[in-house]
Amino acid sequence: MKLYVVVWIGLILIVGLEVFLTYERLPAGTLLACLLALALIEAALGVMYFMHLKYERPALFWSLIPYLLFALVMMDHFWPDALRLMRQRMPGP
Amino acid sequence: MGHSVIGAPLEASPYGIQSKKLAMWLFIVADAATFGAILFAYGYLRLANPDWSRPFAFSPTILNGCVMTVVLLTSSLTIVAAVSAAQAGRTSTSVRWLGATMLLGIVFAALHLREWFAMIGVGWRLFQNPMGGSPLFGATFFGITGLHLLHVMCGVIVIGAITLGFRRGRFDAGHVETTALYWHFVDLVWMFVFPLVYLMNVR
């Protein structure tokens, strides 16, 4: 249980860091990158320790995680269109 | 190697886990892709809309969100304790930890609903924005957090059913572990919802 408590404390500290960074008034893109990186670290900790994927056979990891990452990468096609619309915004009066 | 009901030999699982646990992992991957899709759609709408609202103040929304996050993370710890106890054959201890997990899930849902009702009280609706910006803010906010809340509520009900069955000896430690996988997944989804939907919309 000690390991799990350490992971739990680590996750709470990461959430605290996320809130701290939010109020540091970073540029939106930088803040988004930081928050996503921290969320991915949290997800990795949760999956590997709380969900025990670290202790399963490697075949399970290689059958599940690359598929999910592939599915998420395939969803990235529409970002250029979103960025195009963002750049088309009219300047304010 | 086991045998099927017609006597043919069964191959051992290449993953070395029970089929119900493998099924839960497959569900989790599919559900993660679902949440990924709605979070990507939210990102698209947010970038593409020039008048996206940023309504959340530190108090009460972000503070409430921090408490909800800690509650959900703690529930992951309590269900890990339940799995450990179940695998060690300590049924009553496991049942107590499962009860604590359910309680934390209910607290999370109550805090979430309180926040929803406060927002509805000031005019937020699925397609209505009291700040005058894009009405899609309400659609994405209530849609994403609503889907997550639905998962939490389903999780609490499933944990309750598994707890009853485990206490009566109908379910084993494998059922508790499989249910815990689902609960951890619900927790992990929140680790993306909180920064992307709440922290990125701070005033």
Q: Which of A42, A47, A56, A77 to mutate to test the interface with B (most CBs of B within 10 A)?
A: A42
CB neighbours (10 Å) of residue A69? 11
Domain B19-201, CATH: 1.20.120.80
Give the rounded percent of residues in chain B with a pLDDT score beyond 90: 84
Q: Give yes or no for residue A31 having a pLDDT over 60.
A: yes
Rounded Cα distance, B85 and B115, in Å: 35
Instruction: Give the pLDDT confidence of B92-111 residue by residue, as tens digits.
Output: 999 999 999 999 999 999 99
The mean-pLDDT minimum among A5-9, B8-12, B38-42, B188-192 falls in B8-12
| pLDDT, position B1 | 52
Tell whether B21 lies on the interface with A, counting CB pairs under 8 A. no
Own/partner long-range contacts of A6-12 (Cβ < 8 Å, ≥24 apart) = A7/A45, A7/A46, A7/A49, A7/A50, A8/B73, A8/B74, A8/B76, A8/B77, A10/A45, A11/A42, A11/A45, A11/A46, A11/B73, A11/B191, A12/B69, A12/B70, A12/B73
CB-based contacts of A2, cutoff 8 Å, min separation 6? none
Question: Mean pLDDT over all residues of chain B?
Answer: 93
| pLDDT, position A59 | 93
Please list every residue in chain B whose beta carbon sits closer than 8 Å to the beta carbon of residue A87: none
Q: ipTM for the complex?
A: 0.92
The domain segmentation of chain B, as residue ranges, is 19-201
**Which pair of structure tokens corresponds to residue A56?**
């399963």
Tell whether A38 lies on the interface with B, counting CB pairs under 8 A. yes
A72 closest CA partner among B134, B2, B16, B35? B35
pTM (two decimals): 0.93
More confident site: B175 or A93 = B175
Q: Give yes or no for residue B114 having a pLDDT over 70.
A: yes
| pLDDT, position B100 | 98
| pLDDT, position A3 | 95
